Amino acid sequence: MRKTMTLSIILAAALGCSALALAGPGGQGGDFGGFHGHHGGGFMAMHGLNLTDTQKASVKQIVQQSFTQLKPQFQAVRQQREAFEAMAPNASGYQAAAASLAQAEANLTSARITARAAVTAQIYSTVLTSAQQTQYTAQKAAFQARKAQWQQFKAQHPVSSTSGSTQP
């Protein structure tokens, strides 16, 4: 059971990992809205597909290009967040700053998700061979099946909210 759970977690991380969860340009780890480099900047969704060195270089280039395009937006949101966090709750314009930050965060999330989809589609169609595409699709389907099994298990075995605490 533990081995299956560990494997499921690893595969979930591999298949569910964002395409932008790479190191920044030049392989340097950046911290833009929670995107950090992972294991040398590899695109984790492609793990297990036995990519050639040329394919790996192509994936890295595609992902870095996408990250570079989003970097100014990450930085702008970070600056806006820092400015908001520096404000006192009773400051004039506090609520307006909160609303503006929320909108900027929403726009960044939308751009990030759209960019991840574009990167995945580009890699799938231009880098992967037809055999790798089939393997990728099979891995994704297997992950979805394991995820559904996990959700079903959690529904059938709810965690008690009183564990570890004493209540009168």
Per residue in 11-35, pLDDT tens?
Answer: 444 444 433 343 333 333 343 333 4
Question: What tokens were used for 117?
Answer: 């989809």
Cα separation, 22 vs 31, in Å, equals 10
CB 42 within 8 A of CB 55: no
Would you say residue 82 lies in a domain? Answer: yes
Q: Looking at residue 23, what is its pLDDT? A: 36
Write the DSSP assignment of 94-108 as a string of letters: HHHHHHHHHHHHHHH
Would you say residue 165 lies in a domain? Answer: no
Cα separation, 75 vs 70, in Å, equals 9
CB 35 within 8 A of CB 22: yes
37, 108, 72, 14: CA torsion to nearest 10: 20
Alpha-helical runs (H) found in the chain: 2-16, 53-86, 94-126, 130-156
Would you say residue 162 lies in a domain? Answer: no
Whole-model pTM: value is: 0.63
CB 44 within 8 A of CB 17: yes
CB 136 within 8 A of CB 55: no
DSSP letter assigned to residue 46: G
Would you say residue 168 lies in a domain? Answer: no
Q: Looking at residue 1, what is its pLDDT? A: 52
Please state the length of the chain.
168
Per residue in 46-69, pLDDT tens?
Answer: 778 889 999 999 999 999 999 999
- Whether residue 39 has pLDDT greater than 70: no
Per residue in 66-112, pLDDT tens?
Answer: 999 999 999 999 999 999 999 999 999 999 999 999 999 999 999 99
Q: Which amino acid belongs to residue 121?
A: A
Beta bridge partners of 35: 32
Host domain of residue 152: 2-156
Would you say residue 37 lies in a domain? Answer: yes
Would you say residue 136 lies in a domain? Answer: yes
Long-range contacts of 54-60, Cβ-Cβ distance < 8 Å, separation of 24 or more = 55/127, 55/128, 58/123, 58/126, 58/127, 59/123, 59/127, 60/22
Could you give the number of structural domains in the chain?
A: 1
